[in-house]
Amino acid sequence: MTHTVLIIAVCISCLWLINGLMIQKIRQWYATEVQFALLGGVMVGPVTHLVTIDSLGDVTTLMEWACRITMAMALSSAALQMERRFLETYWRALVVIVIGGMVLMATFTTVLIQITMATGWALAFLLGWILTPTDPVVTATVVQGNQAQKLIPAPMRHAITYESGINDGLASPMVMLAMALWLSLTQGAPLESMHWLLMTVGYENVLCAVLSYALGLLAGRALQKAHSAGWMSQSTLLPFSLAFTLLLLFALHMAGMNAIIGVFIGNLGLSHTVTENEDLKQEEMQSTLERLFTIPVFFLLGIVLPWQGWLSLGWLALLAAVLIVFLRRLPALLLLSPLLGPLKGIRTAAWLGWIGPLGVAALLYALEVRDKADLDMAWPFVTLVVVASVVIHGSSSIVSARAYARHQDDDSRS
């Protein structure tokens, strides 16, 4: 086990070094660090067998916590970078994208799964909600960077970043409801709607959000007072926010609450008490920390990819995965375009609809469903869709950004 851990540590360190030295070159190849990390895991695992699945021990627990910690870093980064001006101007558009987008994406994904794989509507509904959230981890790699900042207006990049942060936690109660519905129809388990409403929605999510926001405000006030008193340096927000994020993640998980939404709301409360004048926000450092956690989780995913599970699903699963990548989100945002206010417009909706990758959030929900509902096919199918999304969205992000910028320039000249 020690030998395996050392190999993984060396490989991840090499990937960090390569990413630091070549990130701009990697993007010129129309690729992302997530793709390189995934490829590295495949090479170390299934190809060369330097690391085998058996040598990793409890793979489910390992991947669950790798996903949770990675998501926590991405969500804290998104929350701390939220700008009040953006929320004041675009909050209606953001509500439409989050709520309307989630409902439509879940609907389209459910229909695509049922049409291609004939799983039954209950299972398709469950898989549809697992695959609904836009992933903040992969999103960060396709909307950040010099090229994306030059080509895409800030409000559009902010919209997709904030949406991906919000809808990850909001999808949790619907995944749990869909799982309860599937268990009721297939195994005869009682559908306890009141328990779902009180515990899943009320306790695990609503109470969690209120408590987390209050803790974020308290943490922010403490940070402000310490800064004013000269007890801390101006570079303390990064370790402080990291400690606060991990505290929320572990404590809320122990309390049986939705730690994912808690981390995001808690850091949002922290962000609301930290002003730009105090020079405590460090977006670049926060984003760098987030990416340090992104590479390990996709490297591990490359090692544990269920190749045999993919083969057992058949070629229709591959067709479903590709269709989900192309048709899960794009039609939804095009339909919602008239309601997006300052973000309305076919080209804007098309870009927002295309750049909506799947990733760590879907992996985490798939692992939880496999564990709680004993649903073996959830993991191989979701990983297949996630890999398809990482490849297609990652390779097309700069191309789509350039196409959007070119059309905007043409419109401005005409």
Mean pLDDT per 10-residue interval, the chain, length 414 residues: 85 86 72 88 92 86 92 84 79 91 96 95 95 84 70 83 84 90 82 80 92 93 81 69 91 93 90 59 57 87 94 94 94 93 87 88 93 88 95 83 70 43
Give 411: exposed, middle or buried? Use CB within 10 Å, 0-12, 13-18, 19+. exposed
Query: Of 350, 316, 327, 382, which Cα lies nearest the Cα of 105?
Result: 327
**CA angle, residues 228, 232, 236, in degrees to nearest 5:** 115
Place of tokens 């122990």: 254
Contact present, 105 and 328 (Cβ < 8 Å): yes
| Tokens at 311, concatenated | 């083969």
Residue 208: predicted pLDDT = 94
Range of the domain at 16: 2-22+31-413
Give 21: exposed, middle or buried? Use CB within 10 Å, 0-12, 13-18, 19+. exposed
Query: Of 170, 271, 163, which Cα lies nearest the Cα of 216?
Result: 271
Residue 355: predicted pLDDT = 84
Residue 279: predicted pLDDT = 45
Angle between helices 259-272 and 208-228 (to 10 degrees): 40
Contact present, 352 and 284 (Cβ < 8 Å): no
CA distance 300 to 323: 26
CA distance 107 to 129: 8
| Tokens at 337, concatenated | 């375009």
The helix/strand/coil state of 281 is coil
Q: In this structure, how many other beta carbons lie within 10 angstroms of the beta carbon of residue 308? A: 9
**58-96 b/e with 16+ CB inside 10 Å = b?**
eeeeebbebbbbbbbbbbbbbbbbbbeebeeebeebbeb
Residue 216: predicted pLDDT = 92
Q: Domain with 266 in it: what CATH number?
A: 1.20.1530.20
Q: In this structure, how many other beta carbons lie within 10 angstroms of the beta carbon of residue 337? A: 19
Q: What is the CA radius of gyration of the chain?
A: 21
Q: Structural domain tally of the chain?
A: 1
CA distance 149 to 24: 13
CA distance 358 to 89: 27
